[in-house]
């Protein structure tokens, strides 16, 4: 299926994988809307790519339906939703911060649910709707104690996607999970411990995928023939230890 004229909403579209995906899709002729909290950065991405900016906070359940409807209005409908927005926080259960847990659950799980729910009517009307949930290799296995809560939210993404795949089959909506390993983003910038922050940054620099690599897989999924349902794509950098 050609990407030209496909109408796609990307959450978390102001940086990282979301920004790279907006660039990749607009370069291929898709009509794109990007949703994020950082309205200034969001508008910069929109200026650079031609995507439609939709400022919204996925943690606000009342704002999400309005934002998705605004995106659909701006694009003239929706053919695909890329649930990319998320939060990454390190910490064990014993030493972790409840505020960090709450943010990860609100964005990684509840935000994904809210955006999906709001988009389903538009994707149904498309006749060839696609839902792509950006998860993580941590959603397939938990790499360590400090990633346990984060991995739990990503395991939830896999479970929710399985349920959605069954729920939306009769609506003609395909549901794909994309599970990247380490990615070169600034998601570790929040870490207050300088040593942990430096180590995390080094790991991602040495072993991370370029966000454009993940964006290319999103394009691959969206370009799949209508009779092909890609269930999951898992990818890591060749430099990352398996």
Active site residues: 150
Q: Is the dihedral of CA 15, 106, 109, 75 positive or negative?
A: negative
Supply 162's token pair: 């399985």
Q: What is the DSSP letter of 108?
A: I
* Helix extents (H) in the chain: 16-27, 39-49, 63-75, 98-104, 112-126, 148-168, 194-207, 211-222
β-bridge pairing 52-55 and 232-235: unpaired
Terminal alpha carbon distance of the chain: 32
Question: In 10 A of CB 213, how many CB atoms?
Answer: 17
CA dihedral 58, 153, 148, 135 (to 10 degrees): -100
Phi, psi of 232 (to 5 degrees): -155, 145
């Amino acid at each position: 299926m050609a990407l030209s004229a496909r109408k796609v909403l990307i959450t978390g579209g102001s940086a990282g994988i979301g920004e790279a995906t907006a660039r990749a899709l607009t370069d291929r002729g898709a009509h794109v809307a990007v949703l994020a909290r950082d309205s200034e950065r969001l508008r910069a991405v929109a200026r650079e790519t031609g995507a439609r900016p939709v400022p919204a906070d996925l943690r606000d359940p009342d704002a999400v339906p309005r934002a998705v409807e605004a995106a659909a209005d701006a694009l003239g409908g929706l053919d695909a939703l890329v649930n990319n927005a998320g939060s990454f926080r390190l910490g064990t259960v014993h030493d972790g911060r409840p505020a960090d847990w709450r943010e990860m659950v609100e964005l990684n799980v509840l935000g994904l649910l809210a955006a999906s729910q709001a988009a389903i009517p538009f994707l149904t009307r498309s006749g060839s709707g696609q839902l792509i949930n950006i998860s993580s290799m941590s959603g397939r296995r938990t790499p360590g104690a400090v990633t346990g809560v984060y991995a739990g939210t990503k395991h939830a993404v896999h479970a929710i996607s399985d349920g959605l795949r069954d729920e939306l089959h009769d609506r003609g909506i395909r549901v794909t999970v994309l599970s990247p390993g380490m990615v070169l983003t600034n998601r570790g910038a929040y870490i207050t411990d300088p040593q942990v922050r430096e180590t995390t940054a080094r790991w991602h620099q040495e072993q991370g995928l370029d966000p454009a690599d993940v964006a290319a897989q999103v394009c691959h999924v969206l370009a799949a023939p209508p009779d092909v349902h890609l269930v999951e794509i898992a990818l890591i950098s060749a430099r990352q230890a398996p």
